[in-house]
Amino acid sequence: MFYREAGDFKTSYREDSQTFPIKFDRLRFYAVLAVAYGVIPLLINDYWASAVFVPFLIYSIAAIGLNILVGYAGQVSLGTGGFMAVGAYACYKLMTAFPEVSIFIHVLIAGGITAAVGVLFGLPSLRIKGFYLAVATLAAQFFLVWLFNKVPWFYNYSASGQINAPERSIFGVIVTGAQTSAMAKYMFCLIMLTIVAVIARNLTRGTVGRKWMAIRDMDIAAEIIGVNPLTTKITAFAVSSFFIGIAGALFFSVYLGAAEVGEAFGIQKSFLILFMVIIGGLGSIFGSFAGAAFLVLLPVLLKNLLVGTLGWPTDLAAHIELMIVGALIVIFLIAEPHGLAQLWRVAKEKLRLWPFPH
């Protein structure tokens, strides 16, 4: 009823291979874009930006990046926090070294540097597989965090060991530093997310994405039919790290403003983003958004409920929150191991037929 392909005729190859082939899908996509660009920026205030929207946008970028590696290419990585730290510190060094260059360029270059580091740590994936690889990527996590802690050059020899984002602007609008308006933060992250999502979506449905999926499903078989495992795995690590690096750069410069590496980019961050990918749905761009939204909103809701409504002490609420998050993750995995994206697919299938049963 709401959602169907009947009567939606394609008269050119271009139309046939567009991103959203079904008209209803396409309209919905434009509607979401219109709300995101046209409505939310007008209504947003500091609380909503810093508690919900900006973290959601940034985590979505990171989740898309990790989903490419884990969901599409099948290489489990626990080094996300470390790679985000690379993006953050690269961005910081660039911002302080070349203040006259636009921060937009800096964020992209930070992503590029992260991609190079990601490739370096991705090389062992040619030999190591499965859980051995997952644990091996922890080497990246711990080594990188240690490196940024111990080498003063990375934090410009500041006494506290922290990095602080200086004030930078794009086209006269301040986007980093203490003076930034909620709307500027939101719009900057939103534009980056749109770029990342469009690139990711188109990569995953083209040749590159199909190669990734072939390697994921069975790497030996893929090799036999002519997929080069070296270039495929390396491109997966490079693209994934590029996005994660962008997310790290934004997380530090726009969201946090000041960061201490162990705290902001520790192992917990790696797990958090992996959870987003799994709860959202492996191998789905929509799933990355859904997972990020779920895990950003859940703690905010729980905190409001436990501390705000019931008035419990904050430390107790934090522990209960941990319990609920853990339990929800387990329940989720039992109820729908393919994540929110699968629920969405089922819902769409139902809507296609509604109100008829078959």
Contact residues for another protein (CB under 8 A)? 70, 76, 124, 127-132, 134-136, 138-139, 142-143, 145-146, 149-151, 218, 220-221, 224, 267, 271, 274-275, 278, 282, 312-313, 315-316, 319-330, 333-334, 337
Nearest CA to 75 out of 228, 232, 198, 222 is that of 232
CA atoms within 13 A on the CB side of 14: 0
Q: What angle do CA 163, 45, 251 make, to 5 degrees?
A: 25
CB of 217 to another protein, least distance (A): 11
Min dist. Cβ of residue 101 to another protein (A): 31
HSE-CB of 40 using CA atoms within 13 angstroms: 21
Nearest distance in Å: CB 214, another protein? 12
| Min separation Cβ 242 and another protein, Å | 22
Taking a C-beta distance cutoff of 8 angstroms, is the pair 278, 340 a contact?
no
Query: Which value, to the nearest 10 degrees, does the dihedral of the CA atoms of residues 222, 224, 227, 229 take?
Result: 80
189 vs 306, which CB is nearer to another protein? 306
Closest CB to another protein among 40 and 324?
A: 324
Closer residue to another protein in complex, CB, 110/282: 282
Provide CB contacts within 8 A for 230, sequence distance 6+.
Answer: 126
Cβ-based nearer residue to another protein, 30 or 271? 271
Contact 74, 215 (CB under 8 A): yes
- Give me the residues paired with residue 233 across strands: none
Between 53 and 72, name the residue whose CB sits nearer to another protein: 72
Q: Which is nearer to another protein, 192 or 295 (CB)?
A: 295
* Least Å from the CB of residue 181 to another protein: 35
Neighbours of 23 (CB within 10 A): 13
Q: How far is the CB of 171 from another protein (least distance, A)?
A: 41
